[in-house]
Amino acid sequence: MTDENKNERDSAQSKAGRRASLVLAGTGVFWIVTMFLGGQFDWPVRIRVLFDLMALVGFGIALLLTYQARRLGRSGK
């Protein structure tokens, strides 16, 4: 394996990891903010559950992105 290929793989892995971490952090902040606003504005439980489900989907996507980043890291070994 050449240094150029290794650098490209490392760059792709770091981009994938960065994307996964941003999705995870963004979903967490979104969830906390919507739960806070729901409590402050007395949103119905239906609306709060909708935001809970949206956050659950976001965490699932972050898990998938983390798995993909992990696979990129292990592919060169």
Q: Which of 20, 8, 18 is nearest to 58 (CA)?
A: 20
Q: Which amino acid is at 5?
A: N
CB environment 12-48: b (16+ within 10 A), e (fewer)? ebeebbeebeebbeebeeebeebeeebeeeeeeeeee
pLDDT tens per residue across span 27-43: 999 999 999 999 999 99
Q: Which of 3, 26, 16 is nearest to 70 (CA)?
A: 16
pLDDT tens per residue across span 14-73: 999 999 999 999 999 999 999 999 999 999 999 999 999 999 999 999 999 999 999 988
- Report pTM: 0.85
